[in-house]
């Protein structure tokens, strides 16, 4: 199973994931505003070094938690943060690291570039997306897997479950197309 970025050291039972969601196949999001694999790997390595983490897996967990909490929002700054095993990453720290590697890149571009990996980790670890509670009001039977996909940067990801993607698109339109 391949993704944009290969998860080298994380042990996820892909058979279980396949049973739960056939969308975890080798499909890339159809989004133009993404970063290259090379840039993503540099960002992951830099976060790993700055946060003294032991592996890319731990780094991706920290990044996933942050971005799932809304760390890709433009106004996130230091108000959005995530802690994993005593290591804290803020949206501003991630943005600074990204900009040190690619001048005009953003947290949102990283989110979109790693959308499938973030979803895989979030589903596995039960990390809900930043819009899960909002969707749950309208869709009370939201599953834990759908809640993990319910992040603002998954809107155009073809691998996102249809029900979630449709809700995300409608939510976006209702907020920004007034």
Query: Where do the domains of the chain lie?
Result: 34-176
pLDDT by residue (tens digit) across 102-152? 999 999 999 999 999 999 999 999 999 999 999 999 999 999 999 999 998
pLDDT at 176: 72
Q: Which of 20-34, 45-59, 73-87 has the lowest mean pLDDT?
A: 20-34
Give the chain's mean pLDDT: 86
What count of Cα atoms within 13 Å lies in the side-chain half-sphere of residue 161? 19
pLDDT at 11: 62
DSSP string, 113-136: HTHHHHHHHHHHHT---TTHHHHH
Q: What's the DSSP call for residue 141?
A: T
pTM for this entry:
0.79
Q: What is the mean pLDDT of residues 156-167?
A: 94
Q: Which two tokens stand for residue 138?
A: 């309208």
Q: What is the mean pLDDT of residues 61-66?
A: 96
CA dist 163 and 170 (Å) reads 11
Q: What is the mean pLDDT of residues 39-50?
A: 96
- Helices (H), ranges, the chain: 14-20, 37-50, 56-66, 91-101, 107-113, 115-125, 132-138, 144-149, 162-176
Q: What is the mean pLDDT of residues 65-74?
A: 92
Q: Which two tokens stand for residue 158?
A: 């073809």
Beta bridge partners of 89: 82
**Is residue 3 scored above 90 in pLDDT?**
no
Tell me if 123 sits within 8 A of 84, measured CB to CB: no
Find the distance separating the first CA and the last CA of the chain, reported in whole Å: 41
CA dist 110 and 72 (Å) reads 8
């Amino acid at each position: 199973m391949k993704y944009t970025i290969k998860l080298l050291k994380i042990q996820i039972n892909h058979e279980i994931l396949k049973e739960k969601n056939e969308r975890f196949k080798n499909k890339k999001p159809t989004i133009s505003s993404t970063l290259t694999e090379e840039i993503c790997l540099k960002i992951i390595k830099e976060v790993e070094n700055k946060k003294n983490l032991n592996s890319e897996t731990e780094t991706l967990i920290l990044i996933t938690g942050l971005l799932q909490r809304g760390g890709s929002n433009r106004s996130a700054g230091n108000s959005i943060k995530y802690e994993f095993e005593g290591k804290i990453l803020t949206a501003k720290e991630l943005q600074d690291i990204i900009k040190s590697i690619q001048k005009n890149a953003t947290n949102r571009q990283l989110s979109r570039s790693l959308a499938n990996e973030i979803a895989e980790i979030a589903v596995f670890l039960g990390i809900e997306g930043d819009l899960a509670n909002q969707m749950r009001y309208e869709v009370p039977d939201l599953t834990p897997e759908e809640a993990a996909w319910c992040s603002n940067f998954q809107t155009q990801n073809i691998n996102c479950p249809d029900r979630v993607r449709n809700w995300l698109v409608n939510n976006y339109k209702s907020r920004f197309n007034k």
